[in-house]
Structure 1
């Protein structure tokens, strides 16, 4: 029975339902449409609310969640569909059978569709209940999208490429770029970052400006904002650092540029993890000082940004001013102004912008302003450049370094030796006891100024240079703060001395290449400590000239043409006065360029027991000569040098090799020397060599090269041996050290030398011969058969670059094959 009833019900369902459902839709179509209208209004209200939140978020710079944007699109589509459906409602009022009966088919379709749309509208409404519609965006650095501001100078291209190569090196995680203020470091590293991002070296590149007084919270906040991380402002720096550290560790390819570093910066305290195999950051730093990068930040590689060359400087200047500077007289003035800017972009750009579209008279006035900078404050077109350099000066570490910078600026010298002399005289160096310590300090100070980009390298470590713009700043500061009066090559020649009031407060007067007139009588300068005069014209010094300089400590009249000398001075000496011997505390005696000095009285030199440095390398002293009717020795002997136990530096010319004693024990104490033995030497310019020994025999005499001579010069860097007939080889088999510091070797006129290096009898397995030798000159060695005989290490001759061989007829091979294979970096001269 149950089975029969169930079957009947099922039959009724299949037969009746198709008739009832359409009828139901026809009856409820008004209700469904009304419900659809209500839900549509609710959806429109919800859409308006979300759109308001979206607009507000966009105005705040936030990004909009993707699913929110997709929802709004869906809502717009549904609303359009529903409104179309409602419009079709009018069709439902149409009636069939000549208006006697409603159109049931149309009502059925509309009602059914309305019900379906209600469900869709309600579903969208539910989906639109968002917790939030936006997210914090991570804005890309604006400079990453533009090359504006960067000019592709050739001098910058190579540096840029080298930096990019270093950044791609997996072994480097911190790299530095340094250069003087305003040189263009920031512009360069931004271009590095742009290209690194473009070349997919990094997924993210962000920067932060550090400045002189780093604010850790500000740096943390800037980095965090650029990676989309929120840091609570009230949190402690260490908490913020921890959050930033964890966030950055998740980055696999990110470059952080920290611009304008002035001292040690604790990256861990900020929250910056250096890159390793597990992720982290690579850091690119900029600084004005190499010391900051190398010593305080431990950068693995540093790159120097130099000034622009003439062509590049002109190109930059022209870009800022336009083609107008190519016309007529303006071009010549503009050319001079560009030269005065010394290739410094921070000087070129503001000056060019300031002079653009100005009259010729204003250009000329600017040029004069450049050549005669203000002695008080930095003003006018040069203000930006000067202020930038002054900022570097203000940040120099310690008064000693600052005074050194100013001294170099207003004295116009360019060698470490002058700094040593002036510094010692002025008491500049602190806590030093010997000249050797002072010399080391002078080198250190120069190196620090070079690293701060306030000095530039010279041809050797003894020389340096200073840009004119930097020097102008130094002179201006010295004038303002120390009452220094300094003039060099003025456009308007200085023909008269400063007024009396100015002289009374002057601490230093430095006149170079000036046409200044004769100084007045009664020259009152009670504060004066430094006086240096070099004039184009001849100058007469009054007898009472120095009476008003009670504090004078340094006087420099070098290479000055004096019409008449005051009673207190002498020149063109032929004989050193005996009174010099009374200066028992004298530490340095410099008699260079005394070309007529031939006589030094006996016992004068030996009396100078405190002497540390002696320079008489250009004086033809008649060492040990006897004169006078009674046969009394009138001239000093070289034996007296053995009494100078503190002597560390010596330059000496010994024309008669017979005067050279066998016992020169002081040789071992010398740290610098230039000893020229024999006649007809040309002393030559300073070449950076600290230890030089030249021996020339002219009359057949022989000097034995024993432990007392050559082998006492183991630190020698430049050795010349000319005319030594009994020398068979330079390195003896029993020695084995092989002149480890020698850079230049010249051997001439020796018919007996058979080989240069002979290690056959050496006890060591392999001798290292000449590991630093760069230049080798062999001339007129008729019996020379080999350069080397015996075992040598691989380090032997490894730096050799230049070889000249002349008149060595028996020499068949310059080097044996075993050494020749190792040498591929030299080129024979002949």
Structure 2
């Protein structure tokens, strides 16, 4: 009995396995090896198909700037998942193959064998189906245009109030065109960048277009940028005429609610000629532009409420911006440096471009002596002596000068730099000097000449090269703009200025080549005596006002045959003129106001 019982125990597992194999699921075990080989081959094929498709997608995206189709993206994602799952099954397969018995039709572990066989069969079918669905005639298409594209920008200082003004104006239905103006380097483009990125970061229904105008063919250049942004620029675009381009742009924009951000215009920009529909309450579109010229703002739209001037930074914000660029570590290197840095910031007069440029130039200066030198250089209006400053800053500012109508306007502008820093220049006195120098047109009477002079002053104010002073009869020049003007004069072959105004001189200055000087200003010093002859054969203007003059030697003016303008005003102690002044045969304008002169010539 014991032997029989023993045999029944040993046969029981075999009977059980055979029973499992005899059911309808035996095929999963019997076909396991064949399905494994087939799966490996199909997965290899799927990998090749995926690789080929990815190559086509990369070419479309990188070279043709297209966007892959959603169905292609979905197929690639599913293929990736299938390949990973199949590879895992293939890695697990050896142990299940080893369990096969009876010629591969049974398994020593039938339940797990059947389960694994099912997984292999299912995955094989999924891979086949995926391959069949991988035939795409097109893999990418032109992407939909985003409502706004983000522009690179740095953190800003002091533009918050201006940003809020512009953004608030944009929300008003009745406002279609907004002008942003101010002198070069004050932050207008930075502000427009902020507006653009605000559109990018918020939900709205505008199609935002950024375009930069230029001096050369501004309409055509703006048209090209608009066409690129709204997706109508193609191979034939460049061959089209200006009017054809305008028609193409208009046909698209008249159906959109757009916001055109137009940077750096220098004259009235004809929106209609460019193909831009004029913003109106009905279409809800907007145009925001920047310019250095106030008159351009008025030409684009006359409402003063919608013309926003970007002012220079107040002292606290100016120092904060400067500290960001120079680095707080540099300012803490020595107790004196921070105090000297305040003096440097004051010389920048709140102009962001100057604060940033000079801040970067001073970032590596770690000793008080270096900072003392920089402060003195700035006070002497010799900023170009600081490494990189003149080369980086002045050319950007000079563009406003270059865009003045003609050489007469440019000469009148440069003339203003003869006055000392922060000086309130009387308009009438300035115009009389221009007339005396012969800078204005020849007129039939003095009144017409003065009218032209005041017109030029207004134009220089419009160009943000002069500023209105606290009093209506005066103007002033921003410190950095004055430095730029002196830099231009220093680079000029025609104009040679010698300017030492307001620098505490007590004696006559020295110069290497007096014969080259065309204009000289020694105003607002403490000079008492002029006892050395200056040979200045080309000198046309000489400012000596607001000194402590007591004596001018008789022969002092003997070698100034071209002198046309002489200012000796506000020398209260000066009691008489030298005999030699009679030799100034070209003299047209002589200012003796607020002097102690009682006789015209000395004995």
Q: TM-score, normalised by structure 2?
A: 0.76
Query: Take 1:246 and 1:115, find their aligned partners in 2: how far apart are those partners?
Result: 58
Secondary structure of residue in 1 paired with 2:51: helix
1:401 aligns with 2:405: no
Q: 1:455 to 1:28 in 2, by over 3 A?
A: same
Query: Take 2:188 and 2:325, find their aligned partners in 1: how far apart are those partners?
Result: 19
Bigger-Rg structure (1/2): 1
Query: Partner residue of 2:398?
Result: 390
1:168 aligns with 2:192: no
Superposed CA offset, 1:65-98 (max 9, x none): 22211112333445566678888899799999x7
Note if contact 2:67-2:140 (Cα within 8 Å) is conserved in structure 1. Answer: yes
Note if contact 1:248-1:272 (Cα within 8 Å) is conserved in structure 2. Answer: yes
Query: Take 1:530 and 1:47, find their aligned partners in 2: how far apart are those partners?
Result: 81
Q: 1:543 aligns with which of 554, 572, 576?
A: 554
Q: How many residues align?
A: 551
1:313 aligns with 2:318: yes
Superposed CA offset, 1:424-444 (max 9, x none): 212222253333323332222
Q: CA deviation at 1:163?
A: 0.8
1:513 aligns with 2:524: yes
Secondary structure of residue in 1 paired with 2:72: helix
Query: Partner residue of 1:426?
Result: 437
Q: 1:446 aligns with which of 448, 451, 457?
A: 457
Once the two structures are superposed, the pairs formed by residues 183-194 of structure 1 within 5 Å of their partners are 183-194=186-197
1:285 aligns with 2:289: yes
Query: Partner residue of 1:552?
Result: 563
Once the two structures are superposed, the pairs formed by residues 213-612 of structure 1 within 5 Å of their partners are 213=216, 219-226=222-229, 230-232=233-235, 235-238=238-241, 239=244, 241-252=246-257, 254-268=258-272, 270-276=274-280, 279=283, 281-295=285-299, 301-323=306-328, 324-325=330-331, 327-358=334-365, 359-374=367-382, 380=387, 382-383=389-390, 384-412=392-420, 414-430=425-441, 432-481=443-492, 482-490=495-503, 493=505, 495-499=507-511, 502-516=513-527, 518-520=529-531, 523-560=534-571, 561-567=573-579
Secondary structure of residue in 1 paired with 2:482: helix
Secondary structure of residue in 1 paired with 2:198: helix
Query: Partner residue of 1:134?
Result: 140
Q: CA deviation at 1:309?
A: 1.2
Q: 1:113 to 1:529 in 2, by over 3 A?
A: closer
Secondary structure of residue in 1 paired with 2:213: strand
Q: Which has the larger displacement, 431-440 or 65-74?
A: 431-440
1:149 aligns with 2:160: no
Secondary structure of residue in 1 paired with 2:539: coil
Query: Take 2:561 and 2:389, find their aligned partners in 1: how far apart are those partners?
Result: 38
Q: 1:237 to 1:380 in 2, by over 3 A?
A: farther
Q: 1:179 to 1:42 in 2, by over 3 A?
A: same
In structure 2, runs of 5+ residues without a counterpart are 1-23, 583-587, 599-603
Q: 1:75 to 1:318 in 2, by over 3 A?
A: closer
Superposed CA offset, 1:291-316 (max 9, x none): 22322677882111111111111121
Query: Partner residue of 1:195?
Result: 198
Query: Partner residue of 1:630?
Result: none
Query: Partner residue of 1:813?
Result: none
Q: CA deviation at 1:173?
A: 2.6
Q: Which has the larger displacement, 287-296 or 101-110?
A: 101-110
Q: 1:356 to 1:100 in 2, by over 3 A?
A: closer
Q: CA deviation at 1:39?
A: 5.3
Secondary structure of residue in 2 paired with 1:181: coil
Q: CA deviation at 1:400?
A: 1.9
Query: Partner residue of 2:9?
Result: none
Note if contact 2:247-2:275 (Cα within 8 Å) is conserved in structure 1. Answer: yes
Q: CA deviation at 1:507?
A: 2.3
Query: Take 1:32 and 1:445, find their aligned partners in 2: how far apart are those partners?
Result: 92
Query: Partner residue of 1:49?
Result: 52
Query: Take 1:112 and 1:329, find their aligned partners in 2: how far apart are those partners?
Result: 82
Q: 1:95 to 1:312 in 2, by over 3 A?
A: closer
Secondary structure of residue in 2 paired with 1:255: strand
Q: 1:478 to 1:30 in 2, by over 3 A?
A: closer
In structure 1, runs of 5+ residues without a counterpart are 1-20, 571-586, 598-830
Q: CA deviation at 1:186?
A: 1.5
Superposed CA offset, 1:640-671 (max 9, x none): xxxxxxxxxxxxxxxxxxxxxxxxxxxxxxxx
Note if contact 1:248-1:280 (Cα within 8 Å) is conserved in structure 2. Answer: no
Query: Take 1:397 and 1:212, find their aligned partners in 2: how far apart are those partners?
Result: 13
Secondary structure of residue in 2 paired with 1:514: coil
Query: Take 2:351 and 2:489, find their aligned partners in 1: how far apart are those partners?
Result: 22
Superposed CA offset, 1:754-776 (max 9, x none): xxxxxxxxxxxxxxxxxxxxxxx
Note if contact 2:313-2:351 (Cα within 8 Å) is conserved in structure 1. Answer: yes
Structure with more contact order per residue of length (Cα contacts < 8 Å, sep ≥ 6): 2
Superposed CA offset, 1:416-471 (max 9, x none): 11122112212222253333323332222122111211111112432111122222
Q: TM-score, normalised by structure 1?
A: 0.57
Superposed CA offset, 1:670-698 (max 9, x none): xxxxxxxxxxxxxxxxxxxxxxxxxxxxx
Query: Take 1:370 and 1:594, find their aligned partners in 2: how far apart are those partners?
Result: 32
Secondary structure of residue in 2 paired with 1:534: coil
Q: CA deviation at 1:133?
A: 2.5
Note if contact 2:208-2:259 (Cα within 8 Å) is conserved in structure 1. Answer: yes
Q: CA deviation at 1:198?
A: 3.7
Q: CA deviation at 1:353?
A: 1.9
Q: CA deviation at 1:212?
A: 3.5
Would you tell me which structure has more helix in proportion to its own residues?
Answer: 2
Q: 1:231 to 1:280 in 2, by over 3 A?
A: farther
Would you tell me which structure has more strand in proportion to its own residues?
Answer: 1
